[in-house]
Amino acid sequence: MNNKLYSFLFATILIITSCNSQDTELALKPADFNKKIKTTTNGVILDVRTADEYKGGFIASALNIDYNGDNFKDEIDKLDKINTYFVYCLSGKRSASAADYMRSNGFKSVYNLEGGILSWQNNNLLLVAIPNQPSADKISFEEYANMINSDSTVLVDYFAPWCAPCIKMKPMLDEISSEYAGKVKVIRLDINENKQLAKKLKIIEIPIIKIFSKGKEIWTHQGYIEKKELIKQL
């Protein structure tokens, strides 16, 4: 009886370990993602960001299918399920969801870029730019430094227009800006429009909120946060 029980438990552990290992292997860090692309025959690179994001710079040879687009599922269903797919977005969240959808619909080999393009660039890996596309940030690092170096407390929200938690938090941040006028300066920094600045600041996940006092960072939070919890930090 004991031997049967031990055998059952051992088999269960092996299955769980195998599943966890597989999940880990499907999300690759930038260097591993890049190496896997180069060593894979019939690999397809899939950029699931918006068309405007794609135009700002993409991994060479990437096909663009917007994860939030109305035709995402239709376009994915047109792809050959035999191929190996390398999926990425800005921070890795949309691509993780896209990869999960693909695997659940018959695609056998789908890898996700952990940390997305933000992490890719922070590892000094290159993107291809479409000619005649503006590449300069809207806010320089010097301008940013001046913005956070204020007599008032400065709250900076690093966001992107497609980010659901960012959209949800915007009304709350607008309220704080109004209610704490003269005491707290609220800045919303679009990392889509300021890619080089985001890279320099090592912003690899959004949303991120930081609070500064006289230019010095005194608090940071990653992900969604309720208004009452944020106010406690002010």
The set of catalytic residues is 163, 166
Confidence band for 134, pLDDT divided at 50, 70 and 90: low
Q: Is residue 116 scored above 80 in pLDDT?
A: yes
- Whole-number Å distance between alpha carbons of 186 and 223: 17
> Are the CB atoms for 68 and 162 separated by under 8 Å?
yes
Confidence band for 23, pLDDT divided at 50, 70 and 90: very low
Please report the pLDDT score of residue 132 as a whole number: 60
From residue 122, how far is each of 31, 91, 175 by CA, in Å? 11, 12, 34
pLDDT tens-digit readout, 43-88: 999 999 999 889 888 999 999 999 999 999 999 999 999 999 999 9
